[in-house]
Amino acid sequence: MEYIRGVVIAQEGRVASGGYTAYIEYFKHGFARQQWAGQIFPAAEQAQHWCEDAIAQLQSR
């Protein structure tokens, strides 16, 4: 079994300007992993785009 999903999280209240962060979670070859974006995005669409790019890179491996 394998799965990959992207998650966007609102950061309102955690930083003065608000924003969004994101991570992908995947289960592959018997191991579950999370890969965080490591940055705050000003718009949810940008965080979602990061998820899509990270998933595409993971699937190409």
Predicted TM-score (pTM) of the model is: 0.81
Provide the pLDDT for residue 15. 56
Q: Which residues of the chain have pLDDT under 50?
A: none
- Return the amino acid letter for 58: L
**What domains, with CATH codes, occur in the chain?**
2-60 (3.30.160)
Cα(1)–Cα(21) distance, integer angstroms:
27
Query: How many angstroms separate the CA atoms of 51 and 61, rounded?
Result: 16
Q: What pLDDT does residue 11 have?
A: 80
Q: For residue 19, give the DSSP letter.
A: -
Q: Pairing relation of β-strands 31-36 and 20-28? A: antiparallel
Most distant CA atoms of the chain, gap in Å: 41
* The predicted structure's pLDDT at residue 14: 55
